[in-house]
Structure 1
Amino acid sequence: MPSTPPDRIRFPLLCLRGLAYLLLIGALMQGVLLEASRPGGAGFSEAGFTELTQSLLLLIATALALAARLLGRDLRHVSLLLVGLLGASLIREQDAWLDAHVFDGAWQTLVTLLVLPVLYVVIRGRRAFAAELERFAMSFSGGLFAAGFLATYAFSRLYGRGEMWQALLGEAYLRTVKDAAEEITELFGYTLLVIAMLELLLMVRRWRRAAGR
Protein backbone atom coordinates (compact mmCIF):
# COMPACT_ATOMS: atom_id res chain seq x y z
CA MET A 1 0.00 0.00 0.00
CA PRO A 2 1.24 3.52 -0.73
CA SER A 3 2.40 5.51 2.26
CA THR A 4 0.32 8.41 3.53
CA PRO A 5 1.57 11.78 2.20
CA PRO A 6 3.16 13.84 5.02
CA ASP A 7 0.55 16.60 4.66
CA ARG A 8 -2.38 14.22 5.26
CA ILE A 9 -3.84 13.09 8.58
CA ARG A 10 -5.17 9.54 8.78
CA PHE A 11 -8.93 9.37 9.28
CA PRO A 12 -8.88 7.53 12.66
CA LEU A 13 -6.39 10.04 14.06
CA LEU A 14 -8.45 12.91 12.69
CA CYS A 15 -11.55 11.60 14.47
CA LEU A 16 -9.64 11.01 17.71
CA ARG A 17 -8.15 14.49 17.72
CA GLY A 18 -11.50 16.01 16.83
CA LEU A 19 -13.05 14.32 19.85
CA ALA A 20 -10.21 15.51 22.08
CA TYR A 21 -10.67 19.09 20.88
CA LEU A 22 -14.42 18.91 21.54
CA LEU A 23 -13.75 17.67 25.08
CA LEU A 24 -11.24 20.48 25.61
CA ILE A 25 -13.75 23.11 24.54
CA GLY A 26 -16.42 21.52 26.71
CA ALA A 27 -14.12 21.52 29.75
CA LEU A 28 -13.19 25.16 29.24
CA MET A 29 -16.83 26.22 28.92
CA GLN A 30 -17.68 24.29 32.08
CA GLY A 31 -14.98 26.29 33.83
CA VAL A 32 -16.51 29.50 32.50
CA LEU A 33 -19.91 28.41 33.79
CA LEU A 34 -18.50 27.74 37.25
CA GLU A 35 -16.84 31.15 37.28
CA ALA A 36 -20.04 32.88 36.17
CA SER A 37 -21.95 31.05 38.92
CA ARG A 38 -19.77 32.41 41.70
CA PRO A 39 -21.87 34.13 44.38
CA GLY A 40 -21.85 37.91 44.41
CA GLY A 41 -21.31 38.25 40.67
CA ALA A 42 -17.52 38.36 41.10
CA GLY A 43 -16.80 36.38 37.97
CA PHE A 44 -14.47 37.37 35.09
CA SER A 45 -11.95 39.20 37.27
CA GLU A 46 -8.25 39.45 36.46
CA ALA A 47 -7.62 36.51 38.80
CA GLY A 48 -10.62 34.50 37.60
CA PHE A 49 -10.71 31.27 35.62
CA THR A 50 -11.26 32.87 32.21
CA GLU A 51 -8.43 35.41 32.44
CA LEU A 52 -5.94 32.93 33.90
CA THR A 53 -6.88 30.29 31.32
CA GLN A 54 -6.35 32.79 28.51
CA SER A 55 -2.78 33.35 29.72
CA LEU A 56 -2.22 29.60 30.10
CA LEU A 57 -3.48 28.92 26.58
CA LEU A 58 -1.22 31.62 25.15
CA LEU A 59 1.74 30.18 27.04
CA ILE A 60 1.03 26.71 25.66
CA ALA A 61 0.52 28.03 22.13
CA THR A 62 3.81 29.97 22.28
CA ALA A 63 5.68 26.91 23.58
CA LEU A 64 4.22 24.71 20.83
CA ALA A 65 5.18 27.24 18.14
CA LEU A 66 8.69 27.42 19.56
CA ALA A 67 8.91 23.61 19.59
CA ALA A 68 7.84 23.53 15.93
CA ARG A 69 10.48 26.13 15.14
CA LEU A 70 13.20 24.08 16.84
CA LEU A 71 12.07 20.72 15.44
CA GLY A 72 11.99 21.49 11.73
CA ARG A 73 13.28 23.95 9.15
CA ASP A 74 10.41 23.70 6.67
CA LEU A 75 8.52 26.61 8.23
CA ARG A 76 11.26 28.30 10.20
CA HIS A 77 10.25 31.88 9.26
CA VAL A 78 6.52 31.29 9.70
CA SER A 79 7.01 29.52 13.03
CA LEU A 80 9.29 32.33 14.23
CA LEU A 81 6.63 34.90 13.37
CA LEU A 82 4.06 32.80 15.21
CA VAL A 83 6.30 32.71 18.27
CA GLY A 84 6.58 36.49 18.12
CA LEU A 85 2.86 37.06 17.69
CA LEU A 86 1.77 34.62 20.38
CA GLY A 87 4.52 35.70 22.76
CA ALA A 88 3.54 39.34 22.32
CA SER A 89 -0.09 38.44 23.03
CA LEU A 90 0.98 36.57 26.17
CA ILE A 91 2.89 39.61 27.39
CA ARG A 92 -0.05 41.87 26.55
CA GLU A 93 -2.34 39.72 28.69
CA GLN A 94 -0.11 40.48 31.68
CA ASP A 95 -0.27 44.25 31.18
CA ALA A 96 -1.99 45.05 34.50
CA TRP A 97 0.45 42.93 36.53
CA LEU A 98 3.51 44.27 34.70
CA ASP A 99 2.39 47.88 35.07
CA ALA A 100 1.72 47.36 38.78
CA HIS A 101 4.77 45.28 39.74
CA VAL A 102 7.48 46.19 37.20
CA PHE A 103 6.93 49.68 35.79
CA ASP A 104 4.25 51.53 33.88
CA GLY A 105 4.54 50.60 30.21
CA ALA A 106 6.60 47.47 30.91
CA TRP A 107 4.52 45.30 28.61
CA GLN A 108 5.05 47.67 25.66
CA THR A 109 8.81 47.53 26.22
CA LEU A 110 8.86 43.74 26.43
CA VAL A 111 6.68 43.36 23.33
CA THR A 112 8.98 45.69 21.39
CA LEU A 113 12.07 43.76 22.48
CA LEU A 114 10.43 40.52 21.29
CA VAL A 115 8.78 41.67 18.08
CA LEU A 116 11.49 43.82 16.50
CA PRO A 117 14.13 41.03 16.21
CA VAL A 118 11.47 38.63 14.91
CA LEU A 119 10.33 41.08 12.25
CA TYR A 120 13.95 41.73 11.26
CA VAL A 121 14.60 38.03 10.65
CA VAL A 122 11.30 37.53 8.80
CA ILE A 123 11.74 40.60 6.58
CA ARG A 124 15.33 39.64 5.85
CA GLY A 125 14.14 36.22 4.66
CA ARG A 126 10.93 37.51 3.06
CA ARG A 127 11.18 35.31 -0.04
CA ALA A 128 11.50 32.15 2.00
CA PHE A 129 8.78 33.44 4.32
CA ALA A 130 6.36 33.98 1.43
CA ALA A 131 6.89 30.42 0.18
CA GLU A 132 6.49 29.01 3.71
CA LEU A 133 3.34 31.06 4.29
CA GLU A 134 1.74 29.66 1.12
CA ARG A 135 2.44 26.13 2.35
CA PHE A 136 1.22 26.88 5.87
CA ALA A 137 -1.98 28.50 4.59
CA MET A 138 -2.90 25.27 2.77
CA SER A 139 -2.59 23.15 5.91
CA PHE A 140 -5.11 22.21 8.60
CA SER A 141 -2.99 24.12 11.10
CA GLY A 142 -3.04 27.22 8.92
CA GLY A 143 -6.82 27.17 8.63
CA LEU A 144 -7.24 26.78 12.38
CA PHE A 145 -4.78 29.57 13.03
CA ALA A 146 -6.63 31.92 10.68
CA ALA A 147 -9.91 31.13 12.45
CA GLY A 148 -8.36 31.65 15.89
CA PHE A 149 -6.66 34.87 14.84
CA LEU A 150 -9.85 36.36 13.42
CA ALA A 151 -11.92 35.22 16.41
CA THR A 152 -9.46 36.68 18.91
CA TYR A 153 -8.17 39.86 17.33
CA ALA A 154 -11.17 40.90 15.23
CA PHE A 155 -14.49 39.30 16.18
CA SER A 156 -14.09 39.40 19.98
CA ARG A 157 -13.19 43.11 19.87
CA LEU A 158 -16.17 43.96 17.67
CA TYR A 159 -18.51 41.63 19.54
CA GLY A 160 -17.51 43.18 22.87
CA ARG A 161 -18.26 46.79 21.94
CA GLY A 162 -20.21 48.51 24.68
CA GLU A 163 -22.43 50.46 22.29
CA MET A 164 -23.69 47.26 20.66
CA TRP A 165 -24.62 45.68 23.98
CA GLN A 166 -26.26 48.92 25.12
CA ALA A 167 -28.33 48.88 21.94
CA LEU A 168 -29.26 45.22 22.48
CA LEU A 169 -30.09 45.38 26.19
CA GLY A 170 -31.27 48.98 26.54
CA GLU A 171 -32.07 49.82 30.16
CA ALA A 172 -31.15 46.26 31.18
CA TYR A 173 -27.53 46.82 30.07
CA LEU A 174 -24.89 45.43 32.40
CA ARG A 175 -21.19 45.86 31.75
CA THR A 176 -20.62 42.37 33.15
CA VAL A 177 -22.59 40.90 30.25
CA LYS A 178 -20.53 42.81 27.71
CA ASP A 179 -17.25 41.83 29.40
CA ALA A 180 -18.31 38.18 29.61
CA ALA A 181 -19.21 38.06 25.91
CA GLU A 182 -15.85 39.49 24.91
CA GLU A 183 -13.75 37.40 27.29
CA ILE A 184 -15.47 34.12 26.43
CA THR A 185 -15.11 34.76 22.70
CA GLU A 186 -11.44 35.59 23.25
CA LEU A 187 -11.01 32.39 25.25
CA PHE A 188 -12.40 30.36 22.35
CA GLY A 189 -10.08 32.15 19.93
CA TYR A 190 -7.06 31.31 22.10
CA THR A 191 -8.24 27.70 22.23
CA LEU A 192 -8.23 27.57 18.43
CA LEU A 193 -4.72 29.02 18.42
CA VAL A 194 -3.50 26.30 20.79
CA ILE A 195 -5.05 23.60 18.62
CA ALA A 196 -3.50 25.21 15.53
CA MET A 197 -0.03 25.21 17.11
CA LEU A 198 -0.43 21.59 18.21
CA GLU A 199 -1.38 20.65 14.66
CA LEU A 200 1.61 22.63 13.40
CA LEU A 201 3.96 20.69 15.66
CA LEU A 202 2.45 17.37 14.59
CA MET A 203 2.69 18.40 10.93
CA VAL A 204 6.35 19.36 11.29
CA ARG A 205 6.99 15.96 12.91
CA ARG A 206 5.32 14.19 9.98
CA TRP A 207 7.45 16.13 7.53
CA ARG A 208 10.58 15.32 9.51
CA ARG A 209 9.78 11.59 9.54
CA ALA A 210 8.98 11.60 5.83
CA ALA A 211 12.32 13.24 5.12
CA GLY A 212 14.11 10.64 7.28
CA ARG A 213 15.64 13.22 9.58
Structure 2
Amino acid sequence: MSSPPAWPIGFQTILVRAVLYVLFIGAITQGAYFEALYLPSVRFSELGFTEFTQTLVLATCCAMLIYIRYVLKVWPTVMLLLLAFVAASLVREQDHFLDNYVAENTWKVLVALIILPSLFWVVKQRQRFLAEFTHYSNTFAFGLFTAGVLTTYIFSRLYGRQEFWQAVLEDSYSGTFKSVAEEVVELLGYSLILIATLELLLLARRIYKARQTTI
Protein backbone atom coordinates (compact mmCIF):
# COMPACT_ATOMS: atom_id res chain seq x y z
CA MET A 1 0.00 0.00 0.00
CA SER A 2 1.44 3.40 -0.99
CA SER A 3 2.09 6.00 1.68
CA PRO A 4 -0.06 9.16 1.84
CA PRO A 5 1.37 12.44 0.49
CA ALA A 6 3.64 14.41 2.78
CA TRP A 7 1.33 17.46 2.56
CA PRO A 8 -2.21 15.97 2.50
CA ILE A 9 -5.36 17.79 1.40
CA GLY A 10 -8.94 16.79 2.18
CA PHE A 11 -11.52 15.76 -0.42
CA GLN A 12 -14.00 18.43 0.70
CA THR A 13 -11.35 21.11 0.24
CA ILE A 14 -10.63 19.86 -3.27
CA LEU A 15 -14.34 19.88 -4.08
CA VAL A 16 -14.78 23.47 -2.89
CA ARG A 17 -11.79 24.60 -4.91
CA ALA A 18 -13.07 22.83 -8.01
CA VAL A 19 -16.41 24.63 -7.73
CA LEU A 20 -14.68 28.00 -7.26
CA TYR A 21 -12.44 27.38 -10.26
CA VAL A 22 -15.44 26.49 -12.42
CA LEU A 23 -17.16 29.72 -11.33
CA PHE A 24 -14.02 31.72 -12.06
CA ILE A 25 -13.64 30.31 -15.58
CA GLY A 26 -17.34 30.96 -16.17
CA ALA A 27 -16.94 34.54 -14.94
CA ILE A 28 -14.08 35.43 -17.26
CA THR A 29 -15.94 33.86 -20.19
CA GLN A 30 -19.01 35.90 -19.35
CA GLY A 31 -16.82 38.97 -19.02
CA ALA A 32 -15.54 38.49 -22.56
CA TYR A 33 -19.16 38.10 -23.70
CA PHE A 34 -20.16 41.36 -22.00
CA GLU A 35 -17.13 43.05 -23.55
CA ALA A 36 -18.38 42.06 -26.99
CA LEU A 37 -21.90 43.28 -26.18
CA TYR A 38 -21.35 46.50 -24.27
CA LEU A 39 -17.84 47.76 -25.07
CA PRO A 40 -17.80 48.01 -28.87
CA SER A 41 -15.30 50.87 -28.92
CA VAL A 42 -12.57 48.97 -27.04
CA ARG A 43 -13.58 45.33 -27.28
CA PHE A 44 -10.66 42.95 -27.47
CA SER A 45 -8.25 45.88 -27.69
CA GLU A 46 -5.53 46.90 -25.24
CA LEU A 47 -8.17 48.81 -23.24
CA GLY A 48 -10.81 46.07 -23.19
CA PHE A 49 -11.87 43.64 -20.48
CA THR A 50 -9.92 40.70 -21.86
CA GLU A 51 -6.55 42.46 -22.07
CA PHE A 52 -7.03 44.16 -18.71
CA THR A 53 -7.94 40.85 -17.07
CA GLN A 54 -4.85 39.22 -18.56
CA THR A 55 -2.70 41.90 -16.93
CA LEU A 56 -4.51 41.56 -13.60
CA VAL A 57 -4.15 37.78 -13.63
CA LEU A 58 -0.42 37.92 -14.35
CA ALA A 59 0.18 40.63 -11.72
CA THR A 60 -1.64 38.49 -9.16
CA CYS A 61 0.50 35.49 -10.08
CA CYS A 62 3.65 37.57 -9.59
CA ALA A 63 2.48 38.70 -6.15
CA MET A 64 1.77 35.10 -5.08
CA LEU A 65 5.14 33.84 -6.34
CA ILE A 66 6.96 36.63 -4.52
CA TYR A 67 5.12 35.66 -1.33
CA ILE A 68 6.00 31.98 -1.77
CA ARG A 69 9.67 32.71 -2.42
CA TYR A 70 10.42 35.48 0.06
CA VAL A 71 7.94 34.85 2.89
CA LEU A 72 7.23 31.12 2.88
CA LYS A 73 10.69 30.33 1.44
CA VAL A 74 9.53 27.18 -0.33
CA TRP A 75 11.55 25.95 -3.33
CA PRO A 76 13.16 29.39 -3.87
CA THR A 77 15.13 28.46 -7.00
CA VAL A 78 12.09 27.03 -8.77
CA MET A 79 10.02 30.00 -7.63
CA LEU A 80 12.58 32.39 -9.10
CA LEU A 81 12.28 30.74 -12.50
CA LEU A 82 8.48 30.74 -12.38
CA LEU A 83 8.46 34.36 -11.24
CA ALA A 84 10.77 35.38 -14.08
CA PHE A 85 8.55 33.63 -16.61
CA VAL A 86 5.32 35.19 -15.32
CA ALA A 87 6.89 38.63 -14.90
CA ALA A 88 8.23 38.47 -18.46
CA SER A 89 4.74 37.52 -19.65
CA LEU A 90 3.32 40.49 -17.75
CA VAL A 91 5.78 42.85 -19.42
CA ARG A 92 5.05 41.35 -22.82
CA GLU A 93 1.36 42.08 -22.33
CA GLN A 94 2.25 45.77 -21.97
CA ASP A 95 4.09 45.90 -25.29
CA HIS A 96 1.55 48.27 -26.86
CA PHE A 97 1.89 50.86 -24.10
CA LEU A 98 5.65 50.51 -23.75
CA ASP A 99 6.28 50.78 -27.50
CA ASN A 100 3.96 53.77 -27.89
CA TYR A 101 4.66 55.73 -24.72
CA VAL A 102 8.27 54.81 -23.86
CA ALA A 103 10.25 53.56 -26.85
CA GLU A 104 10.11 50.92 -29.55
CA ASN A 105 11.07 47.43 -28.31
CA THR A 106 11.20 48.57 -24.67
CA TRP A 107 9.32 45.46 -23.62
CA LYS A 108 11.97 43.23 -25.21
CA VAL A 109 14.71 44.95 -23.22
CA LEU A 110 12.75 44.58 -19.98
CA VAL A 111 12.03 40.92 -20.66
CA ALA A 112 15.73 40.28 -21.29
CA LEU A 113 16.60 42.05 -18.01
CA ILE A 114 14.20 39.75 -16.19
CA ILE A 115 14.95 36.45 -17.89
CA LEU A 116 18.72 36.49 -18.36
CA PRO A 117 19.80 37.12 -14.73
CA SER A 118 17.20 34.63 -13.50
CA LEU A 119 18.43 31.93 -15.88
CA PHE A 120 22.01 32.67 -14.88
CA TRP A 121 21.15 32.19 -11.19
CA VAL A 122 19.16 29.00 -11.82
CA VAL A 123 22.02 27.52 -13.86
CA LYS A 124 24.47 28.50 -11.13
CA GLN A 125 22.23 26.84 -8.53
CA ARG A 126 21.29 23.94 -10.83
CA GLN A 127 21.78 21.20 -8.25
CA ARG A 128 19.46 22.95 -5.85
CA PHE A 129 17.02 23.65 -8.67
CA LEU A 130 16.90 20.00 -9.71
CA ALA A 131 16.32 18.89 -6.12
CA GLU A 132 13.46 21.36 -5.70
CA PHE A 133 12.01 20.57 -9.12
CA THR A 134 11.78 16.89 -8.22
CA HIS A 135 9.17 17.85 -5.62
CA TYR A 136 7.43 20.53 -7.67
CA SER A 137 7.10 18.38 -10.79
CA ASN A 138 5.02 15.85 -8.86
CA THR A 139 2.35 18.34 -7.85
CA PHE A 140 -1.03 19.22 -9.33
CA ALA A 141 0.19 22.81 -9.60
CA PHE A 142 2.96 21.83 -12.01
CA GLY A 143 0.60 19.97 -14.32
CA LEU A 144 -1.85 22.85 -14.35
CA PHE A 145 0.90 25.40 -14.91
CA THR A 146 2.18 23.39 -17.86
CA ALA A 147 -1.35 23.21 -19.29
CA GLY A 148 -1.64 26.99 -18.97
CA VAL A 149 1.66 27.59 -20.75
CA LEU A 150 0.73 25.23 -23.59
CA THR A 151 -2.69 26.87 -23.94
CA THR A 152 -1.29 30.40 -23.94
CA TYR A 153 1.88 30.07 -25.94
CA ILE A 154 1.11 27.20 -28.31
CA PHE A 155 -2.62 26.65 -28.79
CA SER A 156 -3.71 30.31 -28.78
CA ARG A 157 -1.07 31.20 -31.37
CA LEU A 158 -2.03 28.37 -33.69
CA TYR A 159 -5.77 28.77 -33.13
CA GLY A 160 -5.55 32.52 -33.68
CA ARG A 161 -3.69 32.33 -36.99
CA GLN A 162 -5.05 34.61 -39.67
CA GLU A 163 -4.76 31.84 -42.28
CA PHE A 164 -6.88 29.49 -40.17
CA TRP A 165 -9.77 31.95 -39.80
CA GLN A 166 -9.54 32.97 -43.45
CA ALA A 167 -9.96 29.32 -44.38
CA VAL A 168 -12.92 28.88 -42.00
CA LEU A 169 -14.78 32.12 -42.80
CA GLU A 170 -13.67 32.62 -46.41
CA ASP A 171 -15.29 35.83 -47.76
CA SER A 172 -16.80 36.62 -44.35
CA TYR A 173 -13.38 36.90 -42.73
CA SER A 174 -12.62 39.89 -40.53
CA GLY A 175 -9.55 40.53 -38.40
CA THR A 176 -11.84 40.73 -35.37
CA PHE A 177 -12.37 36.96 -35.44
CA LYS A 178 -8.65 36.34 -35.23
CA SER A 179 -8.21 38.79 -32.34
CA VAL A 180 -11.13 37.38 -30.38
CA ALA A 181 -10.00 33.79 -30.83
CA GLU A 182 -6.42 34.46 -29.82
CA GLU A 183 -7.10 36.82 -26.92
CA VAL A 184 -9.85 34.78 -25.27
CA VAL A 185 -7.88 31.54 -25.48
CA GLU A 186 -4.85 33.40 -24.14
CA LEU A 187 -6.95 34.60 -21.20
CA LEU A 188 -7.97 30.99 -20.53
CA GLY A 189 -4.31 29.96 -20.52
CA TYR A 190 -3.36 32.74 -18.11
CA SER A 191 -6.29 31.76 -15.90
CA LEU A 192 -4.97 28.20 -15.73
CA ILE A 193 -1.59 29.63 -14.71
CA LEU A 194 -3.36 31.69 -12.03
CA ILE A 195 -5.13 28.62 -10.64
CA ALA A 196 -1.85 26.68 -10.76
CA THR A 197 -0.08 29.45 -8.86
CA LEU A 198 -2.85 29.57 -6.26
CA GLU A 199 -2.59 25.80 -5.82
CA LEU A 200 1.16 26.22 -5.44
CA LEU A 201 0.65 28.91 -2.81
CA LEU A 202 -1.72 26.72 -0.82
CA LEU A 203 0.72 23.82 -1.06
CA ALA A 204 3.60 26.06 0.00
CA ARG A 205 1.62 27.19 3.04
CA ARG A 206 1.07 23.55 4.06
CA ILE A 207 4.78 22.85 3.63
CA TYR A 208 5.64 25.98 5.64
CA LYS A 209 3.31 24.98 8.48
CA ALA A 210 4.70 21.43 8.45
CA ARG A 211 8.21 22.86 8.81
CA GLN A 212 7.11 25.05 11.71
CA THR A 213 5.73 22.08 13.64
CA THR A 214 9.00 20.19 13.31
CA ILE A 215 11.11 23.03 14.67
Q: Secondary structure at the match of 1:45?
A: coil
TM-score (norm 1): 0.93
* Segment of structure 1 superposing worse, 6-15 or 47-56: 6-15
Any gaps of 5 or more consecutive residues in structure 2? Answer: none
Following superposition, the deviation at residue 157 of structure 1 comes to 0.6
Shift in CA distance, 40/119, structure 1 to aligned 2, threshold 3 Å: closer
SS in 2 for 1:89: helix
* Contact 2:58 2:86 (8 Å CA) reproduced: yes
Q: Distance in 2 between matches of 1:6 and 1:201?
A: 16
Aligned position for 2:80: 80
Aligned residues: 210
Distance of 1:40 and 1:179 partners within structure 2? 14
Cα gap change, 1:88/1:180 in structure 2, threshold over 3 Å: closer, same or farther?
same
TM-score, normalization by structure 2:
0.92
Matches within 5 A, 1:111-190: 111-190=111-190
Give the counterpart letter for 1:124 in structure 2. Answer: K
Tell me which residue corresponds to 1:201: 201
Q: Deviations over 1:120-153 (max 9, x none)?
A: 1100011121222222111011111011010011
- In structure 1, what is the equivalent of residue 38 of structure 2? 38
Greater alpha carbon shift after TM alignment, 171-180 vs 182-191: 171-180
4+ long deviations beyond 2 Å: 4-8, 38-42, 71-74
Cα shift at 1:40: 4.8
Q: Which one-letter code corresponds to 2:173 in the other structure?
A: Y
Please give the alpha-carbon distance, in whole angstroms, between the structure 2 residues aligned to 1:204 and 1:158: 34
RMSD: 1.5
What stretches of structure 1 of length at least 5 have no aligned partner? none
2:23 is aligned with what amino acid?
L
Quick one: distance in 2 between partners of 1:5 and 1:159? 38
Counterpart of 2:68 in structure 1 is 68
Alpha-carbon distance in 2 for matches of 1:190, 1:39:
22
Letter of the structure 2 residue corresponding to residue 21 of structure 1: Y
Contact persistence 2:39–2:48 (CA under 8 A) = no
- State the secondary structure of the residue aligned to 1:104: coil
Per-residue deviation, 1:55 = 0.6
Matches within 5 A, 1:4-43: 5-38=5-38, 40=40, 42-43=42-43
Structure 1 residues 204 and 176, CA, compared in 2 at 3 Å: closer, same or farther? same
C-alpha displacement of 1:41? 6.8
* Counterparts of 2:88 and 2:142, CA distance in 1: 19
Query: How has the CA–CA distance of structure 1 residues 76 and 166 changed in structure 2, closer, same or farther, with 3 Å as cutoff?
Result: same
